[in-house]
Amino acid sequence: MPIDVVADVMANRRLSSDYNVLALAAPAIAAAASPGQFVMIRPGRSHDPLLRRPFSVFEVLRDQHGAPTGISLLNKRVGVSTGLIYTAQAGERVDCLGPLGRPFSLVDPPAQAWMVAGGVGLAPFAALAEALCGRGTTAVLFYGARTAAELFYLDVFRALGVELVLTTEDGSLGEHGRIVAPLERRLSSQRTDRPVMVYACGPEGMLAATARTAARHGRACQISVERIMGCGLGGCYSCVVPMRSDDGRFHYVRSCIEGPVLAGDQIQWD
């Protein structure tokens, strides 16, 4: 059952001229959230922008005793709402509804967890990495961005014990190119008797390529999709994703309640 809170902005950490991490005081949502779930955010009370925006729970924030105090959101400024979230000041208040949606299912050792992130698609993976590492699961983050300055939170993932595989489109850090290339090589060299779960979030093309690559190597793949949402609760049918049907056709499912985490081999990619 989702909780609606008027959350104080605890901190706003600007990562670049486009990206920031917004920390919100929302202990009840933090305590209830599982990795992969999202919240619906309304950064102002005016009618423009009117609708809330969905954001993955990036981190669950805790006090020194480990008690949940809030959540953080990884935001990229692209429009009006994300612009307001980028410029939000500590002490401002935002409406925050959550946690919503179906979370990732976690894997335990000896299975390994390979996370594939593109750009702002890093958003669900800090919380997922923390949960996986807490179970002792070996985690690898395949993380691609346009340029080195847009690869964020690397120290946080390293500190959790996550192995990093990085790519940039300009070659300024890590391998030159797209992230699916090193994923493909690693999947090819992984012994088939060693179980791997692939998790992915990012641009649609990267998700399709990741899902196909994982399927080709017989690996399960959980995709966190991003869609324009009206309500986040299953009311409006805006955020649908085409899923394969048994008869070879497809049917639309609401990514807010049946996702945002969906099986990569079930999504109709073309």
Residues at the interface with another protein (CB under 8 A)? 1-2, 4, 42, 47-52, 95, 97, 227-228, 230-231, 233-242, 250-252, 257
Q: Closest CB to another protein among 158 and 251?
A: 251
Question: Looking at residue 105, what DSSP letter applies?
Answer: P
Helix 204-216 and helix 180-189, axial crossing angle in degrees, nearest 10? 10
Q: Closest CB to another protein among 98 and 144?
A: 98
Q: Closest CB to another protein among 42 and 77?
A: 42
Question: What does 10-59 look like in DSSP terms, one character per residue?
Answer: EEEEE-SSSEEEEEEE-HHHHHH--TT-EEEEE--SSSSS-S-EEEE--E
Which residues neighbour 210 within 8 Å (Cβ) at sequence distance 6 or greater? 116, 180, 183, 198, 200, 221, 223, 264
Q: Closest CB to another protein among 109 and 234?
A: 234
Q: Which of 16, 216, 200 is nearest to 121 (CA)?
A: 200
CB of 191 to another protein, least distance (A): 39
CB of 156 to another protein, least distance (A): 33
CA dihedral angle for residue 25, residue 28, residue 31, residue 32, rounded to 10 degrees: -130
CB of 44 to another protein, least distance (A): 11
CB of 7 to another protein, least distance (A): 15
The first and second tokens of residue 176, run together, are 């030159």
Q: Closest CB to another protein among 190 and 238?
A: 238
CB of 243 to another protein, least distance (A): 11
CB of 33 to another protein, least distance (A): 16
C-beta separation of 24 from 9 below 8 A: yes
Q: Closest CB to another protein among 2 and 177?
A: 2
CB of 259 to another protein, least distance (A): 13
Chain position carrying tokens 């202990």? 27
Query: How far apart are the C-alpha atoms of 177 and 166, rounded to whole Å?
Result: 10
C-beta separation of 226 from 120 below 8 A: no
Query: How far apart are the C-alpha atoms of 34 and 28, rounded to whole Å?
Result: 12
Please name the helix (run of DSSP H) or strand (run of DSSP E) that holds residue 114, with its range, or none. Answer: strand 112-118
Q: Closest CB to another protein among 111 and 240?
A: 240
